[in-house]
Structure 1
Amino acid sequence: MGHVGEFFLTTINDFFFFFFSFILFVLAFVLCCCWGHITVLERTQASAASASCPSCSDSGFRYDVFISFRGPDTRNGFTSHLFYTLRRAKIRTFMDHELEKGEDIAGGLFDAIEGAKILVVVFSENYASSTWCLDELAKIMECRRRGRGHRVLPVFYGVKPVEVRRQTGRYEAALVMHQNGSQEKGIAEKVKRWRDALTEAASLFGYDSDVVR
């Protein structure tokens, strides 16, 4: 490869590094602003939460941010960078590696969701292929609907919001696979709940990796 080709590749790599860093900065800044501007009214509403959500009691939230993501897609890139950027800003952030060894995974994740003020959902190409992710999302949107002070921020990483909102492409294929490939009783109702959660989440103000919306 000649000098021109090497220069071109270096320029492209520098561009994507800058762009990636910029997106992280913007997202981290927005999260910091959301974290710092929870109103007295919202805290009062959160304190009135029922005993079924002890993490949302008047003692406050255990975490500032919970990140839901598909591990193989973004764990070693975008999500880990976001996690450590927020941690450096002294924002209490939860990722699944925070679970204790031997802890019930589903229970631990749901408790963390209920106990987090801002719920970030990183939608990536294979997010819907994971039933764990879809169950997390359904729980996240359930917490939002309860009106206990949770804020949901979707991030579209390598997928368009419309693909998530309407469940087309990989999202449609994944949901069909879940429904047709499972003998679980009530799978149709579960898939409908996942679809409703995807539509609701993708209709919220958020960010995608191509255009800051």
Structure 2
Amino acid sequence: MKRFRQRIPFALLLGLFPLSSHADVGSLGGLAVAAFEIVTVFWLCLTVVVFLLLRKRLSLLKRIGAALLFLVSPVLMLAWALFKSYMFDDYTSEETVTAPKPVLAAGATFPAGSIAHYEVKGSRISLHKQRTLLDVHSDQPVSLGKLRINSIKPDEYSTELQVALSGDQLLDGWPCAGGDYTIVDPEPNGVELRSCWLSAAREWQGQTVAAGTYVTRNGESNEWLFAVMPKPSDAPADNP
């Protein structure tokens, strides 16, 4: 009986060859299966070694328990690593909420009940998560300097703001159309227009800039540039 137990590891090692021979070594999947079988048999051999090493120290039931625990330890460690990564590592998500209290965004105060869209960073188990406002909208117009707006969307990489004007408004002398897609830049004395679609024609340096024209301020020279193109909200949808 003693000799039989001593020969068990060698018998398991011999099993490596028939197990791996089932894999098609010409394919990546076959190599993966062969590697898995080899590792599995190797770990079974180590489990038997652990069982035999403890034969003089523990009773049979305790040896079986210790060997089984050693056998499944890789699975337990993998499960713990996955659980730790899922629960404790930082992750990023987005959430849209109805604001229970007023929301301050770039100097404009949106009333309670506004729809706020946030980026949320933090672990799933953390009680203190970092929330960054992506945009906020209110059916009730609010003030941003001299402007009346319904929504605001800060730019992640600059100080510019995309706002939805509550109606046609005059900004830096340009009659900007109400709705989305007006870009402004906060200044100490108010906001500076960066771009918008015109709601009415305007004379500029001896030429008439027609209504519906997209006007934008050059970032380097501050000169006004004009383009005739449809507003995204007015553009026809692509037919499938």
Do they superpose with TM above 0.5?
Answer: no
Shorter-chain TM-score: what band? under 0.3
Q: Which has the larger radius of gyration?
A: 2
- From the two aligned structures, give the one with the greater helix fraction: 1
Between 1 and 2, higher relative CO (CA 8 Å, sep ≥ 6) is seen in 1
TM-score after normalising by structure 2: 0.21
TM-score after normalising by structure 1: 0.23
